[in-house]
Amino acid sequence: METLSFLSEDQIRAVQEQFGTPAFVYDQKILEAQAQKALSFPNAYGLTARYAMKACPAAAVIRILNRAGLHIDASSGYEALRAMRAGVPAKEIQITAQQLPDNLQDLISQGVLFNACSLHQLASYGRLFPGNEVSVRINPGLGSGHSNRTNVGGPSSSFGIWHEYLQQVLATAAEHDLRITGLHSHIGSGSDPEVWQRCARLTLEVAAQLPDIERVSMGGGFKVGRMAGEVSTDLQEAGQPVTGEFERFAQEHGRKLHLEVEPGTFFVANAGALVCSIIDVVDTGAEGNRFIKVDSGMTEVLRPSMYGAQHPIVVVPADPEARGQGEYLVAGHCCESGDILTPAPDNPEELATRLLTEAKIGDVVFIGGSGAYCAGMAAKNYNSFPEAPEILLDDNGELHLLRQRQTLEQLLANESLPAFLTA
């Protein structure tokens, strides 16, 4: 059976009573501790660690991590504006986006950095800012991840400019008098130090052909073990061979390059949990399954339905009492057959029961590892369920409301009916 992480049973019951469920809770201590681990990433000639804010874009989380010394990786112009609203200086934000921001000119004028992810983006930037510096994202031809859906490198990925098009990159930069001072690659959510080393070598081979490169980003994607027994990336182990590659590059080319990394999951995954309530307990007969139904699901945690991702789940009795255990499947509240929180590992098409405390209606359920790609990446408002509130557990153990539960009026605020339907 899984166990609770940063919240006690009494704190979980307090969240249920004070804020209602479902509700996200983030732990300040874990956020700050993870930030310090990233800032200690091995490097040869200097380091900038960025937080990939798409993992959890709550303003308080962004501010805590920025105050701890992290810069920001934004995946859209909207995220850049959101980070600035949270108090992050524009110069500490870099945009790496699939979609070119409509307000790019305004963002760059304020000091935001830009990382071109395609030849089209590079040319567009050049037309707007001839003579400027720019960074480019290159797909080095290799990637890793726990599934194909989390691999953002190699020939199956649309992210970045394919490495064989480097001459076109140089030609486009020359056409607009751009200086390419930043180089970015991203291999995905893998944890193998050997893969990191190979990707570093491939990326630095590209850097050797770009004479103005000053900083090289190796991306993020440090694997985090959410479940008991899952292995997390050891940043020291992953970083040492990368440092060696940067030192080798300096010896061969006479350039000492600044290293950047940009994890997201690493900072927030286990710093967050979802607290929800059991609304029903049903079964499918003597030879079938027992289901716990909760007042949450893919509207807050989409990862199990999308990836077959595993999250620790703990049943907390509403009233402390001795209970037995049983095998259960956990289903969400959406009218959707895929709204299952206990899929088989890495296989959303199959189910896998969990050994849990005997469940009763009204009990609380703790879903751990929910800080990354949950509140920020969910089937929001499906079945018209409102967005869940977000709460911070501070260093002193106090709970603070970060975002109120959405109301139906807020959910419908931008809807309107044409006149002919109102008669």
CATH number for 28-268 (one of 3.40.50.300, 3.40.50.720, 3.20.20.10, 3.30.1390.20): it is 3.20.20.10
- pTM for the complete prediction? 0.94
CA 266 to chain centre: 8
Using DSSP's 3-state secondary structure scheme, residue 85 falls into helix
Q: Which residues of 64-81 are buried (b: 16+ CB within 10 A; e: fewer)?
A: bbbebebbbbbbbbebbb
Q: Are 388 and 20 in contact (CB under 8 A)?
A: no
pLDDT of residue 48: 98
Check if 28-268 and 269-411 are the same fold: no
pLDDT in tens, 335-352: 999 999 999 999 999 999
pLDDT of residue 142: 64
Using DSSP's 3-state secondary structure scheme, residue 105 falls into helix
Tens of pLDDT along the chain (423 residues) come to 899 999 999 999 999 999 999 999 999 999 999 999 999 999 999 999 999 999 999 999 999 999 999 999 999 999 999 999 999 999 999 999 999 999 999 999 999 999 999 999 999 999 999 999 999 999 887 654 444 444 444 567 788 999 999 999 999 999 999 999 999 987 655 566 777 788 888 899 999 999 999 999 998 888 899 998 898 888 998 889 899 999 999 999 999 999 999 999 999 999 999 999 999 999 999 889 999 999 999 999 999 999 999 999 999 999 878 899 999 999 999 999 999 999 999 999 999 999 999 999 999 999 999 999 999 999 999 999 999 999 999 999 999 999 999 999 999 999 999 999 998
List residues bridging with 32 in a β-sheet: none
Q: 335 an active-site residue?
A: yes
Among the options 56, 276, 335, 374, which is catalytic? 335
Residue 353 to residue 346: CA distance in whole angstroms = 14
Q: Within 10 A of 310 (CB to CB), how many other CB atoms are there?
A: 22
Q: Are 386 and 405 in contact (CB under 8 A)?
A: yes
In which residue are the tokens 């959406």 written?
A: 334
Domain residue ranges in the chain: 28-268, 269-411
Distance set, CA 54 to CA 46, 121, 191, 371, 420 (Å): 25, 21, 20, 11, 41
Of 372, 294, 370, the closest CA to residue 329 belongs to: 294
pLDDT of residue 145: 45
Those residues whose C-beta lies under 8 Å from the C-beta of residue 215, and which sit 6 or more positions away, are 48, 135, 181, 182, 183, 257, 258, 259, 260
Span 269-411 CATH architecture: Beta Barrel (2.40)
